[in-house]
Amino acid sequence: MSFLFPIFAKIKFIMRKILFIGVLSLLVSCQEESGYSISGTIENATDGQKIYVAELNENNNQTTTIDTMEIKDGKFSADLPEKEKPTLSFLTIEGARGNVLFVADNNPIEFKIYKDSLFSSEVSGGEDNEILYSYIKDARKANQIQSENRTAMIAAFRQNDSMEVNRLQLKQEELSEQHMNRLQEIVKENPNSLVSAMILQEIANSKMVPSSELKELYNSLSTEVQNSNLGKMADTTISQMSKVEIGSKAPEFTAPTPDGEELALKDALGKVTLVDFWASWCKPCRDENPNIVRVYEKYHDKGLNILGVSLDRPGQKDKWEQAISEDNLQWNHVSNLMFWQDPVAAEYGIRAIPAAFLLDENGVIIAKDLRGKDLENKVAELLD
């Protein structure tokens, strides 16, 4: 288990906060020649209750309200200005938690909203929304199957059935791979859809697909989609990933030590160097520390160096230093004490911790995220 970047990947954060709705194909009548319309019904609503229309801003990390509707007799409608390009948009209902996601692409869009269960709401209108809700349907199904598998895995673990745990772990990996393959298919099948850029960002965030393959997917998108805000964000993420792929030179950085001195990565390199991203508040990190200590004590004299990069919170230097002492982490440490906004973590694309990069003597990445026996075996291979 790892502590996820609370706003990771910008669009990922937005997606976590949305209660998605299902797909309903409806026939809609032609509207005005310019602009687009939205209309729909909503159950258990009060006359005068407001519905806000919002869209994702240019930075893809916040929504901006562009119009407001009032519910009357359980219905709502609005005519909106023509969009220069498709935009990821949302309906927010006054007094209800969550949002209803849709793509504004100058097509009439109809909603059937269940205020007390936005998750069950229905939307139709425009090719982009058909693609979007086909994707959401697939994601829901995959999540349900993986959730059931995780539940079975926990039960097997509690029963000390190691063979079943291993079988279910392999099945979980297969399920994740199948889901990633399906997402890639959607992108390939819909190069002209804004939704493909959004899905590409999700694939990149999973870190399950190499940056070279992601770049091929990005290049398959239409120029319009590539130049959209979501497309540009996906391209930036992919470029960032390529910087920390195995075989790449690890990005250089300098950060403060507990003593207040500045330490550069190049000055901390050994024959083999582990750059370990962690934090005093991260339980999985603290649980892994004894394994790292054991490997360090065994191989430091043979050339293993470690540089710990802490994502501790501002004003909590004392907790960082206390964790170093309690866990007996007798190697170099740096931290900007900026939590998830740490610039070193951003440079390395860190979205969850613990995370680690194993470097050779020239600072080239030779392995990533090795833990426990896997870490020891790799270091032994390199230094024994």
pLDDT in the model for residue 24: 29
Q: Same domain, yes or no, for 211 and 162? A: yes
Q: Same domain, yes or no, for 117 and 34? A: yes
Q: Same domain, yes or no, for 292 and 228? A: no
Q: Same domain, yes or no, for 116 and 209? A: no
pLDDT in the model for residue 58: 67
Give the model confidence (pLDDT) of 247-262 as tens digits.
Answer: 999 999 999 999 999 9
pLDDT in the model for residue 26: 30
Q: What is the DSSP letter of 31?
A: -
Angstrom CA distances, 365 to 161, 334, 362, stand at 36, 19, 9
CB 226 within 8 A of CB 235: yes
Q: Is residue 248 part of a domain?
A: no
Q: Same domain, yes or no, for 205 and 320? A: no
Q: Same domain, yes or no, for 40 and 157? A: no
Kindly report the CATH number assigned to the domain that includes residue 56.
2.60.40.10
Helix (H, G, I), strand (E, B) or coil at 207: coil
pLDDT in the model for residue 133: 85
Kindly report the CATH number assigned to the domain that includes residue 298.
3.40.30.10
Q: Same domain, yes or no, for 7 and 42? A: yes
Q: Is residue 19 part of a domain?
A: yes
Instruction: Provide the residue count of the chain.
Output: 384
Helix (H, G, I), strand (E, B) or coil at 233: helix
Which is nearest to 203 in space by CA: 4, 70, 9, 50?
9
Q: Same domain, yes or no, for 272 and 343? A: yes
Give the model confidence (pLDDT) of 169-215 as tens digits.
Answer: 999 999 999 999 999 999 999 999 999 999 999 999 888 898 999 99
Q: Is residue 54 part of a domain?
A: yes
Q: What are phi and psi of 340, to 5 degrees?
A: -75, -10
Of 188, 221, 243, which residue sits at a domain end? 243
pLDDT in the model for residue 34: 66
pLDDT in the model for residue 60: 61
Of 91, 125, 159, which residue sits at a domain end? 125
Domain with 135, as residue range(s), is 129-243
Number of domains the chain is built from: 3
Angstrom CA distances, 356 to 60, 146, 274, 369, 370, stand at 28, 26, 7, 5, 7
| DSSP string across 165-203 | HHHHHHHHHHHHHHHHHHHHHHHHH-TT-HHHHHHHHHH
Q: Is residue 48 part of a domain?
A: yes
Angstrom CA distances, 384 to 23, 58, 138, stand at 58, 52, 47
Q: Spell out the residues 6+ positions from residue 164 whose beta carbon is closer than 8 angstroms to its own.
A: 152, 156
Residues (pLDDT < 70) of the chain are 1-34, 58-61
pLDDT in the model for residue 27: 31
Query: How much is the pTM?
Result: 0.72
Of 243, 276, 302, which residue sits at a domain end? 243
